[in-house]
Structures are given as structure tokens and as C-alpha cells.
Amino acid sequence: MEHPAAFALTLVVCLGLCDAAPTTPSSDDHQIAEAYLSQFYRDPNTTESRGRRVNLPDFENDLKAMQEFFGLEVTGKMDKNTLEVMKQPRCGVTDVARFGHFQGKPKWKQSVVTYRITEYTSQLSQREVDATIAKAFQLYSDVIPLDFKQIYSGTADIMILFKAGYHGDFYPFDGPSGVLAHANSPGPEQGGDTHFDEDEKWTLRPQGVNLLLVAAHEFGHALGLDHSQDRSALMYPTYQYINTNGYKLPQDDRLGVQALYGVRTPTVKPDPKPEPKPDPGPSPPEPCNRDLVFDAATSIRGELYFFKNEHYWKKGFYSGLSTHKIKSTWRSIDSVDAAYEFKGRDITFLFKGKQYWAIRGSTTLTGYPKPISKFGFPSTVKKIDAAVYVASTGRTLFFVGSKYWSFNERTAKMDAGFPKTIWHNIPGIGSKVDAAFENYGYLYFSDGAQQTEYDFGSKRVNRVLLNYGWLDCY
């Protein structure tokens, strides 16, 4: 069976030498050029046949092909400009079609393509990687009638991993600043599979290697796109950082992928008969108020939720800030006193008064509400002020007045010796907690409008903030 075509994004670093490249190339420069042309401008299938050499490489003609592709002066001779282009970050797929799949226009036949991330990078949180990979796929699903769905077990259409060196295919990675990633063309078995070199410095910023841009480029190959000679295109061979804030698929890439899959058109629904507008109820609270006090706060599936009266603000990694009415998401709940997420079970608990609900995303689980006494609280506890799950300990902390309880999620029992006094046992956060949540390894405890960023392991205050700073207020 023929192995699926694989495409790699490579990074060649100038290290300050590009501007000093000599007019007459050195032996090192010639070796760089020979390796570059061998990888990107020669078809290895034409240099050997049944053990004997045929069509020996022609350095001058290969160099001319490279210079023509990049719009350089076509001389067939090494010069400073040609060497500089060779040293730029770029995708590792050849610029001379090596596989027949480009002419055959391979593509996914189904309308929903699944993907699964089996190994994550240690340089970004799992939440950041999930959100970035989803955003990269969304760049395409926004313009073609193809949807992408992340799954968490079994074999997906596109399997994704971060790993260094040899990682189970024919294309081992080569350490930092070389091949960044590679992807297979659409098809069965390994078709579409995408691998990222864990030796690279993966970031979401201009520094290092921007994961969104690399992933979007590789997914273009996984969808069947070839390279483009348009310098503004995502599929241009060389990697370069551009501002990813509000990034959309460039026109050249959009036209290319739409030629394969067609154009996504919005579903047009008939205008419903006008109905009397319902009473909107209380207006949403003002977010940019320095005196803002949260009722509760928690993360839910990678996004932050801040509750106030009958409303909540949702802050997403890419989707930004939005305001919602609580009952519009969870019909049986109109306000929230406390909330926490237990990621291991993909469950979030919302508390109001002496009752609590279990939710998954926007779905309220059956059998709720239940009394808070199920957690082991005495009848004297009428409401929970705040709650937060501490992953490093496997405990959920519940705050009531000036005291707090510790609940063991594994045994589903309260720890012995509680409640304890907040100010004495969690020094630096004050004597009461109105809202609490975890974000990127820190715990955040709100007392009134003020908030403490806290390292729970070392019992150390990192900094003091104001609640309204989370709501895009400057």
C-alpha cells in the first residue's frame, strides 16, 4: 500500500547570517543549497530505478526552478537573495509536485470530519491547545460546508499529536528549528493525520512558533491543499508570523479550499410570524464597574463564567466576552451563589441556597436539584459563598462565612477536622470569599471587588487584582 502523502512545515533560522551572506557562496552555503534543492525541488522517485541511477540531479536547473517559484532573478547561480530565501522558515512539502494526489484532488467525502489529539505539548495548557486547534479548523469550516468534531477516544479521521524525534511514521522530527510539523493528505488510515514537533517552542504569540498559524497551514494540507505562490496566502511555503487576532482565511486559500469542497452558504429560515416581545426582565449588570462584586465564578469546558444576579458573563479564549441570562442557558436556575468545575468528570456544580445542580455545558443533568447536605454540610449551613476544585490535592474547597470545608472528590466525603478558619489556614486572601475559580494553575479568590491571585501549593499571594479586570475593561 502506498503511504499517504506527508507535508511538513520546516524552520530554518538565519541566526544573523542572512544579511552577511557573501556574494560568492562558501562551501557551507553550497551544502545548504544542495540540501534545500534535494528536499524541495527533486523527486526521489526519478533518481533511482531498480538499484541503478537515472537522471542525475541538475543543480543549475533545480536552482532555476526554485528562483522562478519565489519570483527571484532566474540565473541558476547562487546569490545572496537566493540564499536568504533558502534560510527562511517554510513548509517542508516539496514545491515540485512529488505525489499524484495534487492532480487527483483528494478530499474528504463526508460532511463531518472528526479529529482527536492523543498527545499534547507541555508548553501550552490542554485548554489552550484544544481551543487553538478548534480555531484552526474553524478557519476552514467558516468558508466550506465541512464541519470538524473533536473526539476523545477511538480512531478519528485526523489524529493529532505532539512528539519529538521518531514518532511512528516515516518522517522523524529533527530537533529545534528544523521541521515544525507535518500532515498527510486526505484519505483512509493515516490520511489527514497531523504531527507537531515537541522540540519546537510552541506559543500563541509572535515569539516562538505560533501554533494557530502552523496548525492552520498543516490542516490545509490535510484537507487537500497544495502550496501557493501568493505571498499573502496561508499556504505559501515559508512560515512567517502575522497577527492572529481576528484572523480569517486569506482569499487565495479560501478560493483553493472552496474549489475542492464548495462554498458554505448560511441556512435561510422563513421569517416567523411576529410575536409579542417577552418582558426582558432586569438589565444586565454593568461589567466595567470598579466596585463589581461577583456572586460566583468558575470555568466550564475551557471558558470562564462570572455570575451576577440573574446574568452571567462568559469569557472565551477566542470568542471573547458575552453576556447571558442564566435561565436562558439553564431553565431551572435563576441565580448562582457558588460554582465549581470537576474536569475529570466533565461536570460543573452550581449552588443556590440549600440546593445544587450538576451540569454538562448547557445541559442540566437529570435528578437535580439536590440538597447540599449530600456533600456533608450540617443543617446550619444555609448557602455556600464560593467553591473551587484544587486539582493538585483532589479536593474541593467550600467557603461559608469566615470558614471553609475540604471535600475529597475521590471518596466523596468531607475531610476530617473541618471547617477551618480562612484567614489562618489560607493566609493572604482575607477572612471571607465571595467567588473562587482556577485559571492556568492559579486560584483566584474574590472578597468584595478585590481579588487575590494565589499559588495554593506554596500558600503565597502572587498579586492583587480587581474583579472587573476579567471583563475586558481597561
Q: Which residues are catalytic?
A: 218
Cα 403 to Cα 425: distance, rounded to the nearest angstrom? 10
Q: How far is CA 348 from CA 2, 4, 209, 369, in A?
A: 47, 42, 34, 13
Cα 466 to Cα 461: distance, rounded to the nearest angstrom? 14
**CB of 8 closer than 8 Å to CB of 170:** no
**CB of 294 closer than 8 Å to CB of 434:** yes
267 Cβ partners below 8 Å, 6+ apart?
A: none
Cα 319 vs. chain centroid, distance in angstroms? 12
Cα 235 to Cα 253: distance, rounded to the nearest angstrom? 7
Helix (H) or strand (E) segment spanning residue 439: strand 435-439
Cα 49 to Cα 47: distance, rounded to the nearest angstrom? 7
Q: Which residues pair with 420 in a beta bridge?
A: 404
Q: How far is CA 191 from CA 150, 158, 181, in A?
A: 16, 7, 15
Helix (H) or strand (E) segment spanning residue 115: strand 112-119
In the block, residue with C-alpha cell 492532480 = 103
319 Cβ partners below 8 Å, 6+ apart?
A: 303
